[in-house]
Chains A and B, each alone.
Chain A
Amino acid sequence: MELWKLPAHSLHKLLVGGEVTAQEITSAFLQRLREVEPQLQAFITVTEELALEQAQEIDRRREKGEELPPLAGIPFALKDNISVRGIPTTCGSKMLENYIPVYDATIYKRLREAGSVLVGKTNMDEFAMGSSTEFSAFHVTRNPWNLERVPGGSSGGSAAAIAAGAANFALGTDTGGSIRQPAAFCGIVGIKPTYGRVSRYGVIPFASSLDQAGPMARTVTDAALVLNVISGHDQRDSTALKEPVPDYTSYLVPDVAGLKIGVPKEYFGEGIAPEVGAAIWEGIRLLEKLGARVEEFSLQTASHCLSAYYIIAPAEASSNLACYDGIRYGYRADVDDLLGMYTKSRRVLGSEVRRRIMLGTYALSAGYYDAYYHKAQQARTLIRQEFKEAFEKYDVLITPTTPNVAFALGAMVDDLLAMYLSDVCTLAANLAGLPAISLPCGFSQGMPIGMQILGKPFAEGKILQVAYTFEQETEYHKEFPPVSKGVM
């Protein structure tokens, strides 16, 4: 039995039934991790010893007859911008290469309370700025479906690790698509929850009004189980709302009868690969066949999302990243004047990070604030308004997650705008704070295609139900990547 291929709920049954131990489960995933890691390079830190200790603890609890929660003993990975006390948390940056958090992120704490087992911290674009994980300061992560392609980003390490079975689930963070895009590129499920659903405490920020951490898993059910654990109010995060957390698994009922699906035309136009558009429409038709009602409509503001995003996100980032000055933590250049200490220490930030800091600094600077930042926040109001109106008519919206399948390594590094455009389908959910899920809905060039389902705020249950229904009717999620060079 290949334990690493099983979903969490199956592993849970085996564990509570006494058929396997948590240590056996963890060992199976660690062995798989060691097998694929040389090709994938999905991790920055592997916490093997810690994982085995945590697994042992679960076994002790089970032996004592304790009732184990659903994710107890299940191995997971964390994107390396999620703080774990005592474990290096680099954010994919040389700046934080030696940074060891003195506190735990709330979401890590919650997963530990649920008994899950940390196997490692995954690679990412530096400070989550990028769409391919090629902007990690440490190494490039490869797509397990084709090692010559990118896994997407910025949560590319998490996506590659889960697709290849190096962990059962992972947490990523999503500022403009950084969970959903790599999930789509690697053929797994990724959820960006409603802004305010999941605590950001201890998650190293990129853009604070857009960031949200969320689950990445092989199945909708596993993603729902993870969402159950990480959701909810946190008194350390003013924006983690008190909205009650339902049992998301209660939405896992295959039923879309009468569901109103809105399909925004703008997400199927220019720049969207025809095979991708076709696969999404095929998925939509399947849901229609199952009883959903489908209607195309127009989102006028769609073409402005990218612009608004590329002002707001860098503006917030320029401020969030000011703390990296070489004084309290992080890299410090050996210079004996104050200005030099700042500029030489911050030189260690990668070119894309510095570029976005520059962009954001400019957008907030005297004389340009109104034309850029203020204007973008006004656009954001209109974008939110238009989604609000759409959700008065539709229960969910369906779009492609990405305009195309995973691109080749190196293809976009010199064409920034093209890379930014790969987030064009996912940005809106962040700007409007909406929940969105990406799940596999087909293949093109041997690479997975992702379908994105958006819901109204706090309607995670609804999008999970639609995704689950789709998943039950399709086989895409049952495929495992070859972890080899594909046939291009």
Chain B
Amino acid sequence: MQELEPVIGLEIHVELMTKTKLFCGCSVGFGAEPNSQTCPVCLGHPGSLPVLNKQAVEYAVKAGLALNCRIASTCKFDRKQYFYPDMSKNYQISQYDQPLCGEGYVDLEVDGKKKRIRIKRAHLEEDAGKLVHGSTAGGDVSLVDYNRSGVPLLEIVTEPDISSPAEARLFLTKLRNIIQYTGVSDCRMEEGSLRCDANISLRPRGTTELGTKTEIKNLNSFRAVERALAYEIERQTKVLAAGERVIQETRHWDEQAEVTRGMRSKEEAHDYRYFPDPNLLPLLVDQGWVERIRATLPELPDARKRRFMEELGLSDYDAEVLVAAKDVADYYEEVLKYYGDAKMAVNWVMVELMGLLRKEGLEITACPVSAENLGKLLVLQEKGTISGKMAKDIFAEMFSTGQDPETIVKEKGLSQISDAGVLAGLVDKVLAANPESVAAYRGGKDRALGYLVGQVMKETRGQANPQLVNQLLRERLDQPE
């Protein structure tokens, strides 16, 4: 049999981080008491009307620009109609034939080569409520919470340009990264602020015609996307090998069993009967508005990576790893405000810091060591105040206590020697051992003093108070012989 290749497209829903819902003033916080963030509009009470949230539009445009999308100068909102208890009006306000964001793309690096995944469109729509299972005196029931009803979503649809489950995961990682950079969504899959459905079909390698696809839903993690696609490739391959045909359907990923299952088809016979929502007027986004939004875009991952490599001299690998997690890259750049050696800093962030974070299962945003303190620690090390070995010990201490390095240096008895009596003896010893420097200093070369200070510090393994050493040295050197 001919070798088959998978053709994969993704539909990603990203929750936009507005303060309020897409069409009403209800708050959007996660985890509130059921139905406490609802009003006549998002409950679909008769006579209530939607009014579009400007911030949601701007966030959607911002994300669209970051994904290289063409922003439509004019678009509208349509009703997508189907009955389901989580839909408070039994239609969803979405965008059908005129999405806010048109064609765009995301570039990936696959096996060292650039691969472009085209974005077909990205549009604004409202989220539905949440259904949970419960029980009442009457037996098993489902309970509906409309807190999420009306939360703004950006639905991003790719072209079927993805060629493997691994590539799908790579794409999602990159997409999430880009969106997180824009700040319009936190893209947390576990909180539902990023959701993904996948379409997959198989075709003989080298051909262009698309095979019959299935749509996989209930993908709760990037890992699930990868696994489910792998499973579906295997399943479809078997179906085709047996001479049967793939049925176009929606399949559910069963996380426990690690299989996809077809869903009953009667409810599936959707006819969404889209038509323009008469309650919402057209949205025109002119060039001026687009440019004002573009101006708020931060540096995006690809550009940042380039800057890290070109301006800071980081390796491709280091730059890629840093940029791939915006928070880590932000932390790194914060460290650089206090400490100038970019390469030394990257090692510390990627090896020491990330190592400990991983070990403790912490996100960098919850890191007990502030970027400022890490910067200060590295300065101490650079100045020779502490040794590299000491720096690591102190860092571990900083991580577990959250203290700043100076405090730890003091408390751990690593504190500087500030007893003039103790230091005086050492100063004399150093002066005696370095007559050339003494002569040089006395001959007017101030620089020699620095060398002598360094020698005293060395004698004390970095623990001497440099100011005091300095003072003592001057006193001795400035005395007439």
Chain A positions within 8 Å of B, measured between CB atoms, are 81-83, 89, 91, 96, 99, 101-103, 105, 200-205, 207-209, 235-239, 315-316, 318-319, 322-323, 325, 327-329, 336, 338, 342, 361, 364-366, 369, 373
Q: What is the chain B residue whose CB lies nearest that of A208?
A: B278
Complex interface: chain A residues within 8 A of B278 (CB): 207-209, 239, 316
Cα A325 to Cα B89 with chains together (Å): 9
Complex interface: chain B residues within 8 A of A328 (CB): 43-45, 88, 146
Instruction: Tell which of B26-34, B48-56, B230-238, B450-458 binds the partner.
Output: B48-56
Contact B40 A323 (CB under 8 A): no
Cα A323 to Cα B278 with chains together (Å): 16
Q: Does B401 contact A (CB under 8 A)?
A: no
- 13 A–B pairs (Cβ distance < 8 Å), ordered by A: A82-B47, A102-B40, A201-B49, A208-B279, A235-B51, A316-B275, A319-B79, A319-B81, A322-B83, A327-B144, A329-B46, A364-B273, A365-B273
CB distance from B251 to the nearest CB of A (A): 21
CB distance from B59 to the nearest CB of A (A): 19
CB distance from A79 to the nearest CB of B (A): 12
Contact A239 B279 (CB under 8 A): yes
Out of A205, A318, A336, A369, name the residue touching B46 (CB < 8 Å).
A205
Q: A201-B47, A239-B278, A366-B273 are in contact. List 20 more A-B contacts (CB 8 A).
A: A83-B47, A101-B47, A105-B47, A202-B48, A204-B47, A208-B279, A237-B49, A239-B49, A316-B278, A319-B79, A322-B89, A322-B90, A323-B90, A325-B83, A327-B85, A328-B88, A336-B138, A338-B85, A369-B275, A373-B275
Q: Does B91 contact A (CB under 8 A)?
A: yes
Contact B49 A322 (CB under 8 A): no
Cα A102 to Cα B274 with chains together (Å): 30
Chain B positions within 8 Å of A, measured between CB atoms, are 40, 43-52, 79, 81, 83, 85, 88-91, 138-139, 144, 146, 271, 273-275, 278-281
Complex interface: chain A residues within 8 A of B79 (CB): 319
Contact B46 A96 (CB under 8 A): yes
CB distance from B447 to the nearest CB of A (A): 72
Complex interface: chain B residues within 8 A of A365 (CB): 271, 273
Cα A329 to Cα B44 with chains together (Å): 10
CB distance from A436 to the nearest CB of B (A): 20
Cα A325 to Cα B46 with chains together (Å): 12
Which 3 pairs between the two chains have the least Cβ-Cβ distance? A322-B90, A209-B278, A208-B278
CB distance from A335 to the nearest CB of B (A): 12
With known contacts A96-B46, A103-B45, A338-B85, A325–B281 Cβ distance under 8 A: no
CB distance from B276 to the nearest CB of A (A): 9
Contact B46 A322 (CB under 8 A): no
Complex interface: chain A residues within 8 A of B144 (CB): 327
With known contacts A202-B47, A365-B271, A342–B83 Cβ distance under 8 A: yes
Complex interface: chain B residues within 8 A of A96 (CB): 46
With known contacts A200-B49, A202-B47, A238-B281, A323–B89 Cβ distance under 8 A: yes
Complex interface: chain B residues within 8 A of A322 (CB): 81, 83, 89-91
Cα A235 to Cα B51 with chains together (Å): 8
Cα A318 to Cα B144 with chains together (Å): 24
Contact A99 B46 (CB under 8 A): yes
Q: What is the chain A residue whose CB lies nearest that of B40?
A: A103
Q: What is the chain A residue whose CB lies nearest that of B146?
A: A328
Number of A-B residue pairs, CB cutoff 8 Å, is 98
Contact A236 B275 (CB under 8 A): no
Residue among A239, A322, A365 with the highest chain B CB neighbour number at 10 A = A322
Cα A132 to Cα B49 with chains together (Å): 28
CB distance from B8 to the nearest CB of A (A): 27
With known contacts A238-B281, A322-B81, A325-B90, A201–B48 Cβ distance under 8 A: yes
CB distance from A210 to the nearest CB of B (A): 8
Complex interface: chain A residues within 8 A of B88 (CB): 323, 328
Cα A342 to Cα B275 with chains together (Å): 22
With known contacts A238-B279, A238-B280, A319-B91, A200–B47 Cβ distance under 8 A: yes
Residue among B88, B144, B273 with the highest chain A CB neighbour number at 10 A = B273
Cα A319 to Cα B82 with chains together (Å): 10
Contact A204 B281 (CB under 8 A): no
Complex interface: chain A residues within 8 A of B50 (CB): 238
Complex interface: chain A residues within 8 A of B146 (CB): 328
Contact A238 B51 (CB under 8 A): yes
Complex interface: chain B residues within 8 A of A205 (CB): 46-47
Cα A366 to Cα B40 with chains together (Å): 31
CB distance from B453 to the nearest CB of A (A): 70
Complex interface: chain B residues within 8 A of A316 (CB): 275, 278
Contact B275 A239 (CB under 8 A): no
Cα A336 to Cα B274 with chains together (Å): 30
Cα A101 to Cα B45 with chains together (Å): 8
Contact B52 A238 (CB under 8 A): yes
Cα A99 to Cα B89 with chains together (Å): 16
Cα A313 to Cα B437 with chains together (Å): 99
Complex interface: chain B residues within 8 A of A329 (CB): 45-46
Cα A329 to Cα B274 with chains together (Å): 25
With known contacts A236-B51, A238-B49, A323–B273 Cβ distance under 8 A: no
CB distance from B26 to the nearest CB of A (A): 13
Contact B275 A364 (CB under 8 A): yes
CB distance from B181 to the nearest CB of A (A): 32
CB distance from B451 to the nearest CB of A (A): 74
Cα A207 to Cα B138 with chains together (Å): 38
Out of B43, B46, B51, B91, name the residue touching A83 (CB < 8 Å).
B46
CB distance from B391 to the nearest CB of A (A): 59
Contact A323 B51 (CB under 8 A): no
Q: What is the chain B residue whose CB lies nearest that of A327?
A: B85
CB distance from B272 to the nearest CB of A (A): 8
CB distance from B51 to the nearest CB of A (A): 5
